[in-house]
Amino acid sequence: MSVETAELAREGLAPEPSRTADFLRRMSGARLPALFVLTVAVVAIAAPMLTGYAPDAGGPDALLPPLLPGHPLGTDNIGRDIWSELAYGGRVSLTVGILAALTALAIGVVVGAAAGYAGGALDTVLMRVSEFFQTLPRFVLALIIVALFGAGLGKVILVLAILSWPQTARVVRASVMSLKAAPFVDAARIGGMPGHAIVLREILPNALAPIVVVTSLDVATAILLEASLSFFGLGDPNLPSWGGMLNVAQEYLRQAWWMSLFPGAAIALTVLAFNRIGDCLNAALDPKRRGAR
């Protein structure tokens, strides 16, 4: 900042930055986590090109420590290359995290918009149901559903979505209720726009900010829950996953710390990245803080 603009800023005379520039500036804290997520995604997609072994291929060199030629992160108890498993394992975490969050988003938007716009008895019933869902111990319920119904990737996604929609529904409902009385919504109603169109075209686009925040936090939670399920031995048995790697590592904590360190760090950093992005979005999209530091 030049001396003059600093001077002007102090007097409150500096030209106001555009909204996009302002938003990007306040999202600067999310740059590193976003870059990390992107890296994980690229590695997961390009895994066949970046790894020397199939993720499920055992070999004669079992329990090799990291930093040896050919096996940068070492090998596990049956000689599988940890780096290959880690690269392919990102596919499960990201797929489950993102798809479960998007499914929860779809359910949450429908329920929240219906409850908020209709009000009355429908609102009461839907909110009681979502409150009840929030009381249930999510992880234990997911565990038992998967144990009863079988552990396919699609089922895991569906279960996690069914258990995380209430949060989105509550946020959408609150936004819809506050926007329902806005003058531009009144104008649309007087203009004869039907209810569902008002919700879709007038209200939801204006309620986007909190919905985006909740969804990015949902991705983090879903990744964590999927890893916990796989750690319990309830992941998809045919796909390498970070939680599944930790399940195998549990038996070898005394011999092979690297079997636990790398997949655990991958889960922690990915979940942290999505949580951090959510936090930054929350701060940047908050209209009360627009223009603030």
Q: Which of 52, 70, 150, 195 binds other proteins (CB under 8 A)?
A: 150
Interactions with other proteins, residue window 248-267 (CB under 8 A)? 249-250, 253-254, 257, 260-261, 264, 267
Upper half-sphere CA count for residue 275 (Cβ side, 13 Å): 11
Q: Is 67 left (phi over 0), alpha (psi -120 to 50) or beta?
A: left
Copy the structure tokens of residue 181.
């009385």
Instruction: Write down the least CB distance from residue 253 to other proteins, Å.
Output: 5
Give CA–CA dist 168/47, Å, rounded: 33
Upper half-sphere CA count for residue 27 (Cβ side, 13 Å): 15
- Nearest C-alpha neighbor of 90 from the set 277, 293, 208, 245: 245
Instruction: Write down the least CB distance from residue 261 to other proteins, Å.
Output: 7
Contact code string over 166-205 relative to other proteins, x by CB under 8 A: ----------------------------------------
- 136 lies in the site for other proteins, by CB under 8 A: yes
- Nearest C-alpha neighbor of 27 from the set 222, 236, 212, 172: 212
Q: Which of 67, 187, 208, 272 binds other proteins (CB under 8 A)?
A: 272
Strand partners for 81: 75
Q: Which of 233, 237, 290, 291 binds other proteins (CB under 8 A)?
A: 233
DSSP string, 197-216: HIIIIIIGGGGHHHHHHHHH
The window from 61-69, 147-155, 183-191, 199-207 that contacts other proteins (CB under 8 A) reads 147-155
- 140 lies in the site for other proteins, by CB under 8 A: yes
Is the Cβ of residue 53 or residue 231 nearer to other proteins in the bound state? 231
- 23 lies in the site for other proteins, by CB under 8 A: no
Instruction: Write down the least CB distance from residue 246 to other proteins, Å.
Output: 6
Instruction: Write down the least CB distance from residue 228 to other proteins, Å.
Output: 6
Compute, in degrees rounded to 10, the torsion defined by CA atoms 228, 230, 233, 235: 140
- 137 lies in the site for other proteins, by CB under 8 A: yes
Instruction: Write down the least CB distance from residue 85 to other proteins, Å.
Output: 16
Upper half-sphere CA count for residue 135 (Cβ side, 13 Å): 5
Q: How many helical (H) and strand (E) elements, i.e. helices and strands, does the chain have?
A: 13, 0
- Positions touching other proteins (CB under 8 A) are 132, 135-141, 143-145, 147-150, 220, 224, 227-228, 231-234, 246, 249-250, 253-254, 257, 260-261, 264, 267-268, 271-272, 275-276, 279
